[in-house]
Chains A and B, each alone.
Chain A
Amino acid sequence: MANRIINMLLILLLLLVSSISTIRRSVPENFARAGHTNNWAVLVDTSRFWFNYRHVANVLSIYRSVKRLGIPDSQIILMVADDMACNPRNPRPATVFNNANQHINVYGDDVEVDYRGYEVTVENFVRLLTGRSPPGTPRSKQLLTDEGSNVLVYLTGHGGDGFLKFQDSEEVTSQELADAVEQMWQKRRYHEIFFMIDTCQAASLYEKFYSPNILSVASSLVGEDSLSHHVDPAIGVYIIDRYTYYALDFLERVEPDSTKTMGEFLAVCPKRVCISTVGVRKDLFSRDPHKVLITDFFGSLRPVELTVSGLNVTAIPRTQNRTRRSQKEREVPDRKLQYAKQFPTFIFES
C-alpha cells in the first residue's frame, strides 16, 4: 500500500518535471544579453595543391554550416585556393566531399568564393582585416563590419609554432595577426571575435592576442600536430581533419533557433577522438562561454523591436493621385518579370 502511494507520487513528480521542461521553445531570457547586431564570417584556407584536399573540405563544410544557420553570402568572406573541384586529379569533377560516404557535395553550385587562387595571400588577408584595401576593391571582398558585428574567423592549413603558412610561399606570424586584430579593435570593427583554427600547433597562433572580446579555440596545442580523420579510397586523399569533423558533427545538429551554447562547442573534440588536445583561450572574452548562444557567432539572428505606432501622416488628396495614376496607366508598357540577379549592381548605379 505504501509502495503504491510512493510509486504514484514518483510518477506524478516525473510528469510534473517533464511538463516543465517542454514549456520553453523560444530563446530563454536568462542568456547573457548579446549586444551585437549583425554577424560576419571570415573563412580562410591557406593551402593549395591536391594533397591538401582536406583543408578545402574543412573550410567549405564550415561555410555550408554558417550559411545554413543564416549568415548571408554578403557577410561571408571565403578565401580558398579553389583548385580542388576542377583539378585534373579529381575523380569526381566539380565536387568536393567532406566524408567518405560522399553524401554532401560541399562545393555545390552556389558557393561564393571571394578570394581565390593566388589572391589568397598574407597581404590580402591583412588588408581585409584592417580595412586598408585599395580603392576599387569590390564590396564582396571587403569586411564592412561595425562595432556591433560578431565575427567568426576560421583558419585552416599548415601551421607551425607561431606562424601559419600561406600557399607554400609566405607565412603570417601570430604577432602580425594580433596586430591586425588590434587595428580592427582601434577602429571598433568588431563586437566580439570567435577565432577557430585547425592546423598543427594551432594554439601558438592565438597566444599573442591582446585586444578584448576574443574567444579562441585551436585544434592542437604547441608541440602537437592536428591529425586528419580518414582517407577516401575513391578519391585517394585524406578528406577531412579530425577537429573539423567533430565540430561539424556538432554543428549539423544545430538549428537557427537552437539553444546550444558556446561552452558545449568548445568541448566538442575530447582527446580520445581528436588525439591532439583542443586549446581554448577565454581570458580576453568578457562573457561566460556557457551563457553564450552558439548562434551568436555561427548564425545570424538580428535583434528585433516591435513598432508601436506609425506617424499620422495626412494623406495626399485623392484627385492628385488619380490623375497621376491614370497618366501612368496610359503609358506603362508590359513590365518584364525576371529572376533576381545575384549581384544587382544596376540598382545603386546612377
Chain B
Amino acid sequence: MTSDRGMILKEETSDGSTKGEDAEDNDAYRIFAAIAYAVVLIVIGLPLWWKTTDVYRVSLPYSRIAALDSLDVTLGMNISISTIDPARGGRLVADLKDIFKTSKLFQLTFLALPLEKKDLASVHSPEDLENASLQPRKPGELLLLEVPGLSRFTANHVLAGLKRTVYFSSETSESESAVKLSEVLESWLLQEKSLRQTVAAMTAPTETDQDRSGRRRMPTAAEYDIMITVVNPEPEKLHLNWDLPQAVQDYLEPLLQELSLLAAYAVKSQWLYFVTLNVQPKLVTETSGSGYQHYALAEDILPQIITPLEKKLASHVSRNPCLNFIVYIPPCEAAPLHIYRRQGMRVKGGVDAFLSPRWGGIVIHNPSSLICHNTSVPEPKEYSPDTAAIMGIFLAQLRLLMGIPELKEISRVGQLPLSTVSLRQWEFDALLRVRTLEQLTSAKLTLQSLSQLLGEISNIVINDAVGSSIYRAVNCVEHAADLLKTGQLDQAFNESKEAFLSAEAAFTDPSLLALLYFPDDQKYAVYIPLFLPVMIPVILSLKSIHAWLFGRMNFKTKLKED
C-alpha cells in the first residue's frame, strides 16, 4: 500500500510529498546501513577481534599447584626388630615407638620378628652375619637384629652393618638397648634433622642455612661429569708410571655403579704438565722436631691453590655439574709437601688432601724419598704412585661430595669397616631419601613460582610443551608423595626425579619470554586510537536505530489497530 501510495503520489508530483517518501526510504536505507555497521562491528567484529588477539594459553591446574603447599610429605618406613626372646622384642618395639612418635617427617612402623637361634648358629664373624638370608632387600627397610655374643666380635654394644641391618648385643639391658638404638636410628640411619634442615633451607633460605653436609653435597642433576687430573709440574725430572684409566675402572667404577640409580656419570681424566701450585710452602728443617726436612702448606692458603688451578682444568665444557679430582705430585726438590692445620699440626694418618664443597678434591701425593734421594738414577726418575692410597682418598671425597655424610661418634656404637664395597646400603637409602626430598621440594617451589608468574601476567603464551610439562610435574609430585608414605623409596625417587626435571623444563622454557613488553597501558594506547573513532558514530547511531525501529513498530501496530 505504501508503494501504491508512493506511485500515486509520484504521479501527482508534489515535490514535498515525493521528498517525504524518498526521505522515508532514505531514512530506512540509512538506518539499515547503520544497523549493518553495528552488526558487523559489534556482533561479528568484536568477538572476532577478541578471539584472534587471544593469547594461546593452555589451562593450568592452579588449584592443584596451590594445594602442593600443604602436601603432606612423610616418609613411611618399616623397621623390623628380631630378638630371640619375643617378649623383649615386644618391649623394644613399644619403647622405640614411644621415642619416635614425635617425629614430624617419619612414619615408622616397628614390627617384631621372631628369631631362631639356629639362624645365628653358624656365625663366626660379622661378615657371616651379613651374608645371612634375613637381610632386608627392599630399599628403605631396616632390620634391627639381636646377636647373642656380639661381644666376641666387637666391644661395642651396637654395630651397624654393611647392608640394611643393625646388630645389637643381647647382653645389654633393655633400656640401654632402646636408647642406643634410638640414637643410632636418629643420627646415622634416618638423619631426620638433616632432612628437615635441607627442606627448610630450600623453602626459606633467608631464615635457615644448609647444614655442613648439605653445603658440601653437589646440587641435584641428572648427570654429573667427573674429571680426574694429574698435575706434574716438572715432567723432565719425574716420570710417572701410572695407568690412570685402569685405576679409575678398578676403584671408581664400582662406586659409580652403585650410585647409578641417582644419576649418570661421565668420567674423564687428563694430565697437566708445567703447572705449579702458585703458593710458596714453608721449609721445615729437621731440627724443628718433626724428624725430617719437609715443606709445609698452611691450611689458610689452600683456597689460593684452587683459584689459579681452576683456570687450567677443562671442567667447563658441558652444562652438567663437574667434580674435579686433582692429584698433585710435587717434584723431588719440593717434596715431601705436607698440609698443616690451623692449630699447627699435621693431619693424623699422613693424608695430605683437602676438598672444596661442590667442587671436588685435591690430593698431594709425595714421591717416595727412596727414589728422590737416589742420585745414581738419571733424570727423569721413574715413579709409580700408590694407586690404592690415592684412589682411597678420592673415594672418601667422592662419598662426601655426593652427599653421604660423616657420622658423628656415638659411644659404644661402631660400624663394620668397608673393604671392597664403597657404599653401605643404609647410607644409600639415606642418600635416596635426601635426594628425593630435595627434588620434591625443588619441583614444588618451581611449580608454585611458575603458577604465580603465569597467573599474574596474563599475556604470556603457554604453549603445549610447557603445559604438558607442568601437568606431568604436578602428577609426579603427588604420586611421589604417595609412594613415600607407603615406603617405596626407589620408585618415589624416580617419580621425584621426573617431577624435578619436568618442572625445570617448564620453568626454563625459552618461549616464556614472549609478549613480555606488553603492559596494559600500552594495550590501551594501541587500540583506542584505532577503534574509538570508528565506534563513536556506531554507538551514537544506535539511539536513532532504536528510535526508528520502535517508531516502525508503533506505526505497524497503529495500522493493525486501524
Contacts and interface: CB of A to CB of B under 8 A. Distances in A.
The answer to whether A and B interact is yes
A306 interface: yes
Contacts of A311: 392-393, 395-396, 399, 418, 422
B349 A309 contact: yes
A312 B419 CA distance: 6
Contact of A35 (B209, B392, B516): B209
B420 interface: yes
A166 B210 CA distance: 39
Contacts of B513: 123, 126-127, 130, 132
A345 B317 CA distance: 6
Given A306-B347, A310-B396, A135 B510 contact: yes
A313 B388 contact: yes
Given A307-B361, A311-B422, A70 B246 contact: no
Contacts of B363: 307
Majority-rule SS of A interface residues: loop
Interface residues of A, number: 66
Interface in A298-343: 299-316, 321, 324-325, 328, 337, 340-341, 343
A139 B316 contact: yes
Contacts of B209: 35
B355 interface: yes
Nearest to A122: B517
Contacts of B361: 307
Contacts of A304: 299, 302-303, 306, 354-356
Contacts, number: 186
A348 B266 contact: yes
B420 A313 contact: yes
Contacts of A74: 315-316
Contact of B216 (A127, A257, A305, A341): A305
Contacts of A176: 516
Majority-rule SS of B interface residues: mixed
A73 B389 CA distance: 34
Contacts of A142: 319
B310 interface: yes
Interface string B292-310: 0000001111111011101
A311 B422 CA distance: 8
A270 B446 CA distance: 43
Most buried by B among A26, A305, A308, A340: A305
Interface residues of B, number: 80
Contacts of B300: 26-27
Nearest to A75: B316
Interface string B333-365: 000000101000001110101111111010100
A301 B422 contact: no
B176 to A, nearest CB: 30
B156 to A, nearest CB: 19
Contacts of A130: 508, 513
Interface stretch (A88-96, A181-189, A221-229, A241-249): A181-189
Contacts of B227: 347
B311 A72 contact: yes
A223 B82 CA distance: 78
A144 B315 CA distance: 13
B549 interface: no
B307 A300 contact: yes
A305 B225 contact: no
B219 interface: yes
Given A304-B299, A307-B353, A313-B392, A127 B510 contact: yes
B544 interface: no
A316 B250 contact: yes
B243 A324 contact: yes
8 contacts: A74-B316, A131-B507, A132-B510, A133-B508, A139-B319, A304-B299, A316-B388, A348-B266
